């Protein structure tokens, strides 16, 4: 059985002090419990304070993005190697805000993904359709093409360490959630697409749902057969609501 995972994407919120307090509130609740696995993703400037706050607990810390080279003349960028050195164990790649606002393509996500995997950083790769694409009946095509493009050349043993997040763009930060049925349909499809390429190991791959996950809808979403937890934005910004979502993922 796949272990559930609950990830909090803090986006461009929290000072180092606020991040420490938020991480502490989550770490005190989680303690040593590993079901679900809990990861927080503060902005770069708050990674250190969050890492200190969760030390000795089962909560892991990751970054929201990384560069595909180890170092170089890339003003404003942070490499996976730097994140690893700091103590991060996860990285989010291809979030829709990065795809839409910073023009990240599947090819770029793929470059970053290969680098992250080569450095033993565990990636969460995000895919998802816009509202126009959904209305045009293109959801499955869009998701398939993002998935296969982002994973191009990634071998099966590395897929096992890769988490996929299905995040319909129309549900992110909008308060509109995909219904459990809508989400499960796409999650099941993602597993089918991956199975065609990778075979049975796909049963071990975690597929998270993201898009306005809240304490009051989390349990039903997480109860779907192919939804292995959530990537949570807004509701991860207070320990009170995030801890309730963690509770909803307990099996």
Cα–Cα dist 137/131, whole Å: 10
Under rule CB under 6 A, residue 217 binds ligand PEP: no
Under rule CB under 6 A, residue 172 binds ligand PEP: yes
Residues 6 or more apart whose CB falls under 8 angstroms from that of 15 comprise 45, 46
Task: Give the CA count within 13 Å in the CB-facing half-sphere of 46.
Answer: 25
Closest CA to 99 of 133, 140, 146, 145: 146
Out of 20, 83, 213, 227, name the contact with ligand PEP by CB under 6 A: 213
Q: Give yes or no: 71 in active site.
A: no
Out of 27, 163, 202, 231, name the contact with ligand PEP by CB under 6 A: 231
User: Which uninterrupted H or E stretch holds 114?
Assistant: helix 106-118
Nearer to ligand PEP, 29 or 41 (CB): 41
Under rule CB under 6 A, residue 43 binds ligand PEP: no
Main-chain phi, psi angles of 242, to 5 degrees: -65, -40
| Contact yes or no for 211/128 (Cβ under 8 A) | yes
Out of 124, 232, 245, 246, name the contact with ligand PEP by CB under 6 A: 232
User: The tokens of 14 are what?
Assistant: 């929290």
Q: Which position's Cβ is nearest ligand PEP?
A: 233
- The pattern of x and - marking residues 113 through 152 that bind ligand PEP according to CB under 6 A reads ----------------------------------------
Q: Give yes or no: 167 in active site.
A: yes
Cα–Cα dist 72/38, whole Å: 32
Nearer to ligand PEP, 229 or 233 (CB): 233
Out of 80, 94, 233, 241, name the contact with ligand PEP by CB under 6 A: 233
Binding site for ligand PEP (CB under 6 A): 9, 11, 167, 172-173, 210-213, 231-235
Catalytic residue ranges:
95, 167
């Amino acid at each position: 059985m796949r272990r559930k995972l609950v990830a909090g994407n803090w986006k461009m919120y929290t000072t180092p002090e606020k991040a420490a307090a938020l991480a502490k509130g989550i770490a005190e609740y989680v303690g040593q419990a590993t079901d679900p696995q809990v990861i927080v993703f503060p902005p770069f400037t708050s990674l250190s304070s969050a890492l200190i706050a969760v030390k000795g607990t089962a909560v892991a810390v990751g970054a929201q993005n990384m560069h595909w080279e180890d170092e170089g003349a890339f003003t404003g960028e942070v490499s996976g190697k730097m994140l690893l050195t700091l103590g991060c164990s996860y990285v989010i790649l291809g979030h829709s805000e990065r795809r839409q606002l910073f023009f990240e393509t599947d090819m770029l996500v793929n470059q970053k993904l290969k680098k992250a995997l080569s450095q033993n950083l565990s990636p969460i790769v995000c895919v998802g359709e816009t509202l126009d694409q959904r209305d045009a009946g293109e959801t499955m095509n869009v998701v398939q093409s993002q998935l296969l493009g982002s994973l191009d050349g990634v071998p099966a043993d590395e897929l096992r360490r890769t988490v996929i997040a299905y995040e319909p763009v129309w549900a992110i930060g909008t308060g509109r959630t995909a219904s459990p049925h809508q989400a499960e349909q796409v999650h099941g499809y993602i597993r089918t697409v991956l199975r065609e390429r990778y075979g049975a190991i796909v049963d071990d791959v975690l597929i998270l749902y993201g898009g306005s996950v809240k304490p009051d809808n989390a349990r039903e979403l997480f109860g779907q057969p192919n939804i292995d937890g959530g990537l949570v934005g807004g509701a991860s910004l207070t320990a009170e609501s995030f801890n309730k979502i963690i509770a909803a993922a307990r099996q």
